[in-house]
């Protein structure tokens, strides 16, 4: 963390990547879990708005408290809090737009592709900066995202079968 404070570009990237990654994984889980409901657009948009605001505020506040406990400067604490909040809000908004603009099945597919693309680009940039093999890091991160998508899908299918039948 000390090195991040000395390099403003790296610190900004760290704050953005945390919020964006959280938004990607959470939103993909919601989208793939709710796309089979009777009113999927309404359900997904409602859930994504709750995630974009309530969960985002909760997460950003958690980061804020954690960094205060680490005795970081007020400026650093607020930069982390706000950049996490706005990164998550921005990424969540892109998923909401896809759901609004496209038919639900296409929106779900495009959301998965979009989320994996953002995750891949972030992972690639970070890996190159760290002088690591970007492809193994991309593979690991994509695997986690795919597991979340699959879990969301199966949970949604189970709930539909259990409670709508």
In this prediction, residue 72 carries a pLDDT of 87
* Number of neighbours of residue 26 by Cβ within 10 angstroms: 24
Q: Is the pTM of this model over 0.75?
A: yes
pLDDT tens figures, 107-137: 999 999 999 999 999 999 999 988 999 999 9
């Amino acid at each position: 963390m000390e090195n991040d404070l000395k390099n403003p570009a790296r610190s900004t990237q760290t704050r953005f990547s945390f919020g964006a990654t959280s938004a990607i994984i959470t939103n993909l889980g919601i989208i793939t879990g709710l796309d089979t409901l009777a009113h999927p657009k309404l359900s997904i948009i409602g859930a994504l708005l709750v995630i974009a605001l309530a969960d985002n505020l909760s997460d950003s506040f958690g980061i804020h408290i954690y960094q205060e406990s680490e005795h970081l400067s007020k400026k650093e604490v607020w930069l982390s809090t706000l950049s996490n909040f706005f990164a998550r809000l921005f990424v969540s908004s892109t998923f909401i737009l896809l759901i609004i603009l496209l038919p639900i099945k296409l929106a779900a597919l495009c959301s998965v592709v979009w989320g994996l693309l953002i995750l891949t680009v972030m992972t690639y940039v970070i890996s190159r900066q760290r002088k690591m093999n970007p492809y193994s890091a991309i593979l690991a991160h994509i695997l986690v995202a795919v597991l979340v998508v699959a879990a969301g899908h199966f949970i949604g299918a189970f709930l539909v079968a259990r409670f709508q039948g």
